[in-house]
Amino acid sequence: MIVGGLAGMIWFWIPLSLLILAVSSIPSVIGTVFGGVVFVYAVRATDRVERVRSEAIFGFGIAVPYRKVTPYTGFQGWAHQLWLDVSSGRFWKVLGHSYLRMVFDIFAVGLAFALLAFALIGPAAAAAIHNSDAAAGLSFISPPLSWLLAVIALAAAGAILVFGPRVDAVIDRWLLPASPTAALQHEVSALHQARRGAVSSASTERHRIERDLHDSVQPRLVSLAMTIGLAQTKLDSDLPEARKLIAEAHDDAKAALLELRNVVRGIAPTILADRGLDAALSAVVQRTETAGVPVTLELQLPKRFSDEIESCAYFVVAESLTNIAKHARATHAVVSVRYHEPTDQLHISVFDDGIGGAQTTGDDTTGLRGLGERVRAARGTFAVSSPETGTTTVTAVLPCAL
């Protein structure tokens, strides 16, 4: 309560001054823009501080309300995100919460200190005035009454400082969480994104299989059929040549099987269902190391997860390591898959020290784009950090709760 009151006396004027600056500087435009931008960032900081303080003091663990994120990048994305924040109900609830708590804390702490000051000074002043000849003509409460009022004031000051935080807790529970309507909108939006991700992921995977079958497996099978046909014609007239063609057909058949395995790499392997995510990822890492890229695997998997979560995590790691082996020119990679029990989420990270520059948009980025769609279909979050200066980090967070 005391810290809140003292901080409120300082912070109370900062957002208010920024808002007044923005409004009063409308003719100059520049002042309005500067004041408005700083005001938005100040409210954002207030939101984070108030949530941390509420968690530290009351241990509420209030969920952060949904925040709309701009789909744009660069300056346009920055400006659009500012507009999304200012136009959201969450933004103004945060501002209202901070000011309501500041006003209450300032008033409560000020009243408590005033009562405490009276409790300490009142009886002494009453006794001094009552016993002083120089104070003749001054009127004040009698010493016995001053002592009674001092005890009441002291008790009241203590009660304010003890029970005042309960009011703070009520304010936090009232204004920090998302409103029922906003929570429902967030849930609907998440379900819509998951459905769109599932549809897009399935479509991308179907097109990949169709393309790979047409470009690799089908020509190989056609060649195999022609070789077997030629061998049949040579069986009676030229047996050594027929044997040579049959051997060639055998090699083509093995090559077709290998290409078919590559085509169906988008289907979960048997080892994942039989032995779990740990064994499946170890197998993927071993294949990548065979391709010439050393991999450090860090796993913290205390239990088995649903088939959807394990499959999604497997493909995030497998596709990322495939990209590293093919394109990154990396000398080392690090795969981290950890279960975070407090949030019931699976955190996946794949890092490499390669050339960077990986993108999730464009015609030649179907792999990463497909991963993002697959993760969103599982109602998770997906991000790629790959600056042109080098290194790439692919991260995914998957909710494990049904």
Per the domain annotation, does 149 fall within a domain?
Answer: yes
> What is each CA distance from 18 to 24, 39, 41, 122, 351, in whole angstroms?
10, 6, 11, 42, 42
Distance CA 312, CA 371 (A): 8
Give yes or no: residues 142 and 201 share one domain: no
Give yes or no: residues 26 and 148 share one domain: yes
Per the domain annotation, does 383 fall within a domain?
Answer: yes
In this structure, what are the phi and psi dihedrals at residue 24, rounded to the nearest 5 degrees? -75, -20
Domain end residue (candidates: 266, 290, 310): 266
Give yes or no: residues 306 and 338 share one domain: yes
Domain end residue (candidates: 235, 266, 297): 266
CATH of the domain at 348: 3.30.565.10
Q: Where are the beta strands (DSSP E) in 248-310?
A: 295-300
Per the domain annotation, does 122 fall within a domain?
Answer: yes
Give yes or no: residues 148 and 203 share one domain: no
Per the domain annotation, does 13 fall within a domain?
Answer: yes
Q: In the prediction, which pLDDT does 351 show?
A: 94
Give yes or no: residues 340 and 253 share one domain: no
Instruction: Tokens for 166, please give them.
Output: 């309960």
Distance CA 332, CA 394 (A): 15
**Of 18, 60, 54, 165, the residue nearest 104 (C-alpha):** 165
Per the domain annotation, does 221 fall within a domain?
Answer: yes
Q: In the prediction, which pLDDT does 199 show?
A: 62
Per the domain annotation, does 386 fall within a domain?
Answer: yes
- Give the domain extent around 197: 193-266
Give yes or no: residues 276 and 257 share one domain: no
Give yes or no: residues 24 and 163 share one domain: yes
Domain end residue (candidates: 266, 282, 304): 266
Per the domain annotation, does 185 fall within a domain?
Answer: no
**How many structural domains is the chain composed of?**
3
Per the domain annotation, does 129 fall within a domain?
Answer: yes
Give yes or no: residues 199 and 256 share one domain: yes
Distance CA 358, CA 386 (A): 5
Q: In the prediction, which pLDDT does 181 show?
A: 57
Task: Measure the CA angle with vertex 79, ends 74 and 81; round to 5°.
Answer: 95
Question: Tens place of pLDDT for every residue, the chain, 402 residues?
Answer: 888 888 888 888 887 787 787 778 777 778 788 888 888 888 888 888 888 888 778 777 666 666 777 777 778 888 888 888 888 877 888 888 888 888 888 899 889 999 999 888 888 888 877 776 554 445 567 788 888 988 999 999 989 888 888 888 888 877 776 555 555 555 666 566 656 655 665 666 677 677 767 776 778 788 888 888 888 888 878 888 888 888 888 888 888 787 776 666 556 667 787 888 999 899 889 888 888 889 999 999 998 888 888 888 988 998 899 889 888 889 999 999 999 888 889 999 999 998 888 876 655 555 787 788 788 878 888 888 888 888 899 999 998 875
